Homo-oligomer: A and B are copies of this chain.
C-alpha cells in the first residue's frame, strides 16, 4: 500500500481544483466571509489540496452518518480504516506508513473532521496525536515498526490511558501502578483504572501510563494478549456530548505487559504531556472547524428564516452582531493555530503556546457556538439543525486535555513565575 496517497491525491486535486472561493486573485482583493483574514494565503498548494481532500471525505462520508451516530451513541469502527486509507491518521509522522505532511496540513485535516463533529475528531486525535505520537516519539524502532503501520492504516485502533477517576487535571497523582512480575522476568503487571478514554472499548492497542517505582512510564497494552480477567474496557454510555465517539474505561488487574511494550525513552509527565501537546494543537485547529460550521449554519438559517414583515433574520442588527463576532473569533483562532503549527515545524513552539491556543480557541468556539445557537430560536432543539450537537460537544472539548482554567494557570505561571495551582 502506498502511504503517499494523501500527497498524491493532494497534487492531483491541485490540478483540477475549481477556483477556490477562498483565495483571491492577487490583483483584486475580495472579502470572503468563510476565511475573513485570508488564512489560506499562508498555506502551501499542497496544504490546500490536503484540506480539500479531507473536506471532501468529511462532508461526503462523515456528515451523512453523524446524526444517527450521535443519537444512538454508535461509533462506526470503519471510519478509522477509511481515514487510514486516505492517509489522515498520524499524518504528520514521517515514515511507518504515514503521510509526513506539515503540522499545518495535519491541523487542517483535524479542522475538517471537527467541522463535522468533535467526536469524530476525538476518535482521530486519540489515534494520531496520542497513541501514534507517543509511540513515534518515545518508542524503539522496533515498537514503531510493529505498531505504527497498523495504526496508520486504521486496521488497528489505538487509545491513550492517562486520566483516572480521581485524577483529571492532576495526572501526576495517578494511582495506576506497574510492578515487575514476581516470577516472570521481563514482564510487568499493571493495576489501576483509567476513565473517559476515547476509543478504549474498541481499541486494539492501549498506550497506558502507570507508575513504576513511583515514576510514570508508558506501556502499550495489546488487548489480544491480555489474559481473561486482567483487562476490561467497559463503555461509558449516556454521555451528554461527543456521542458520535466511543468512550470507556480501562480496568487493569495485574494485567501482564512484556518489557518490549514499555516505552524506553521517557519517564515522568514528559511522555503524556508531549502527546497531549500534539493533541491540543490539533484541537486548536479542530475547534475552529466546529465553530465555522456553526457560523455557516447560523448564517444560512438567518437568511432563510423570516420573521416580522418577511425580513430574514439576517437583516437584524442583533443577529448580525452574533455572526460578526463568531467570524472574527474563528479567523483569529485559525491564524493563531497556524502560527503555532509553523513554529512547531521550525522547532520553536513551546507547551505554553499550545496551552494558549488550545484554551482560547476552545473557549471562543464554545462561547460563539452558544451565541449562534440563539439564532435558531426554538428550532435549535431539533438535532437536525446540528447546532445543539456542536454546542454540547464543544463544552467537552473545552474541558478535556486541559480545562480552560488549568491552561489559564499554566499561562499565569509562565507570565509571573508563580504557580497558583495550590
Interface residues of A (CB under 8 A from B): 24, 26-27, 29-31, 33, 36-39, 41-42, 71, 163, 166-170, 173, 196, 236, 238-242, 247, 299, 302-303, 306-309, 311-312, 314-321, 323-325, 327-328, 331-333, 335-336, 339-340, 343, 346-353, 356-357, 359-360, 370, 373-374, 377-384, 388-389, 391-392, 395-396, 398-400, 403-405, 407-409, 411-418, 420-422
Q: Are A356 and B302 in contact (CB under 8 A)?
A: no
Q: Are A26 and B357 in contact (CB under 8 A)?
A: no
Known A37-B336, A38-B339, A323-B411; 4 more pairs at CB < 8 Å? A29-B349, A240-B380, A312-B416, A332-B360
Q: Give CA–CA (A403, B239) in the complex, Å.
A: 28
Chain B nearest CB: distance from A109 CB in Å?
Answer: 22
**Residue from B239, B303, B421 within 8 A of A416 (CB atoms):** B303
> How many copies of this chain are found per oligomer?
4
Task: Identify whether the interface residues of A are mostly helix, strand, loop, or mixed.
Answer: helix
Determine the residue in chain B with the shortest Cβ distance to A39: B339
Q: Are A169 and B307 in contact (CB under 8 A)?
A: yes
Q: Are B239 and A37 in contact (CB under 8 A)?
A: no
Q: Give CA–CA (A306, B353) in the complex, Å.
A: 28
Q: Are B168 and A353 in contact (CB under 8 A)?
A: no
Chain B nearest CB: distance from A99 CB in Å?
Answer: 25
Q: Are A412 and B377 in contact (CB under 8 A)?
A: no
Q: Give CA–CA (A400, B26) in the complex, Å.
A: 31
Q: Are B388 and A240 in contact (CB under 8 A)?
A: yes
Q: Are B408 and A324 in contact (CB under 8 A)?
A: yes
